[in-house]
Amino acid sequence: MAKHLVIVESPAKAKTIGKYLGRTYKVEASMGHVRDLPKSTMGVDLEHDFEPKYLNIRGKGPLIKKLKTAAKSSDDVILATDPDREGEAISWHLMNALELDEKKTSRVVFNEITKDAVKTAIQNPRDIDYNLVDAQQARRVLDRVVGYSISPILWRKVRKGLSAGRVQSVALRMICERENEILNFEPEEYWSLDAALTHKKTRKKFKAKFYGDKKGKIDVKNETQAKEILQAVEHQAFLVDSVKRTPKKRQPAPPFITSSLQQEAARKLGFTPSKTMRIAQQLYEGVELKGEGAVGLITYMRTDSTRVANEAALAAKDYIKATYGDNFLPASPRTYKKGKNAQDAHEAIRPSVVSYTPQQISESLTSDQNKLYKLIWERFIASQMAEAKIETMTVNISAGAYLFRATGSTVLFPGFLTLYEEGKDEEKGKEKEQKLPDMEAGDELAVNKIDPVQHFTQPPARYTEATLVRAMEEQGIGRPSTYAPTVATILARNYVIKEKRSLVPTELGEIVTNLMKEHFTSIVDSGFTADMEQKLDDVEDGRRDWKEIIRDFYGPFEKVIQDADSKIPHVEIKPEETDIPCEKCGRMMVIRDGRYGKFLACPGFPECRNARPIQTEIGVDCPKCGAKLLEKKSRKGVKYYGCEKHPDCDFMSWNLPTNDKCPVCGKMLLQRTMRGRLMKDSFVCIDEECSYNAKKEKKKPTEGNE
């Protein structure tokens, strides 16, 4: 019989930890929280100092009974939930729900689920940290008071099912204000003059951009100015005026924290923050490795610290030395600056065991797990490598009175770039660095062509999920555990929709934000929200009492609620009308918002309940019957293409039909998709027997190709 009962949150974590402990330990999972505030009421006693009223979560009764029985038959209970506020609160709730004896109950935490980490934690138990519990209670109560006070007003005044939140409302405001910036943006014209040149000595070609004259930079603002400069340089000799070579050192990015992991996974893997955190949780809790069983592969994934344990840094050093050589090691071990809002409670996100390379364990992981693990592993190893040494070259080129400028760079020593380079949101569409020929002042250049191109300044880009997380982090809004849920909530509420990867506010989102800005100013104020996060951190550090924070907040907030309820008018959101007749009653269908996005509905509801999905024409005719092909979605939300005559015509394709013809048989070409996303330059013939399908990927043929 087991003497010690260990309780964790998930079965995966239980399985991994159980592998490292002997037969005297029984490891059970609580399946997350076992107690919470009730859903039907606020659950906070406003009359008695904001005392929360916790209830056992519906459906958890049998599990609680099972855990109680296991606890009674054990000598002691070890609470081993996650090492953060939420994990501490789960342990505290378990102690209360299971009626555990404090003298026989202890708390252990581990930043990584490895044999050494688990055994060390078990040997170093502690009591529950009530400062962490109180910080979590303060956040939970604050969010409940805000949500359950404002949401009913929105239900009555706008629409049922709406919600407001202390963090989500600020995030929504940021998206709406960015949209307003874009709408109010006035583009300004400017021109670029790009010269295609050839270095006469080496015969190597390169590009240079118009810079100005010897007095300085000149901005070309219109076509007239561009033509004047072109005429002035048309018959001038292009000569190298000066060459400047500058050695530069480029440092690696620090190992991941929660926000940077979400951003990089979005850039490089196309993962949403929620998906990133879900997969990271799997890697942390343990994955079945062939021949080894369940193994925790990464450290805890909710962190704002770039700190790395000495043992991990040494393991990385040994790997780099053995794989790349001594010259790829930095002169001294790397440390990274702490962020201004960082709590620094946990290490950075890194591989638990450096020797588990992505290549070595790829067969044991799913495709998505492998991608994310590879990203984390490579980022960590690169963060411990030597800097890259780069020489930048700036060449000024005289053309009469004017100057053109060419820039390029050469990697002298790749350092960490051998393994990993951080992505940048701003680099989309940016020209690749060119390698310039070796030039000296006075060298002659041949002009192949000068292209004058008109441009207009662009408005700020819409937020993506990743850039919104970055902005929230920079402004101190939310914490690592709240970024992904916040973004998921505003999408689920239909306050925001995704166009490609951009977040676009809906009319509903704009209406709610405007009401919040007018009547609940402090709730949607980023400075107020960031200040509240700091107060919660103070509770965690034992510097403030959690109920004091709620008292200070609730006094002014109660008055705001009373005023808002009387002042906010009823808002009617009129659905967008279409020219599509309802096939049942003849009324013109309208576009409504639903749980899974927009759909067509009859305005005669409830007399007429006709509704159907919105279908988009793709500009291609059906190869079977000649009718229009439509973009559709399956029940699981996966995009596919079908005929408008369905069910009379049964044509459908997961790949995108095009108007291009197969170069082999002349039938329709399909652009391949992967999980609903188009694959660039990858085409197959509609006829599966056609020889053009011999390879998995085919580039679209250009005219004259066979």
Q: From the centroid of its chain, how far is CA 53? A: 35
Q: Which residues contact 499 (CB under 8 A, 6 or more apart)?
A: none
DSSP string for 626-641: S-EEEEEE-TTS-EEE
- Whole-number Cα distances in Å, 631 to 240, 581, 616, 641, 642: 55, 20, 5, 5, 7
CA distance 610 to 269: 40
What tokens appear for 191 in the block? Answer: 């021109």
CA distance linking residue 553 with residue 558, whole number of Å: 9
Beta-bridge partner residues of 661: 668
Estimate to the nearest angstrom the gap between the alpha carbon of 225 and the chain centroid: 43
C-beta of residue 692 within 8 angstroms of C-beta of residue 685: yes
Asked whether the beta carbons of 355 and 317 are under 8 A apart, the reply is no
**Parallel, antiparallel, or unpaired for β 51-52 and 25-29?**
unpaired
Write the burial class of residue 13 (CB in 10 Å: 0-12 exposed, 13-18 middle, 19+ buried).
Answer: buried
Is 426 exposed, middle or buried, given 0-12, 13-18 or 19+ CB atoms closer than 10 A? exposed
Which tokens sit at 682? 């990858």
Q: How many CA atoms lie within 13 A of 87 on its CB side?
A: 20
Is 300 considered catalytic here?
yes
β-bridge mates for residue 396, sequence order = 242, 405
Q: In the numeric block, which tokens belong to residue 373?
A: 């693990």
350 phi and psi angles, rounded to 5 deg: -150, 165
What is the DSSP track for 267-288?
HHH---HHHHHHHHHHHHH-EE
Which residue type occupies 400?
A: G
From 300, 324, 420, 641, the catalytic residue: 300
How far, in Å, CA of 653 to CA of 53, rounded? Answer: 53
Q: How far apart are CA 672 and CA 29, in angstroms?
A: 43
Q: What is the rounded distance in angstroms from the CA atom of residue 48 to the CA atom of residue 32?
A: 29
Backbone angles phi, psi at 212, to 5 degrees: 160, -135
| Catalytic residue IDs | 300
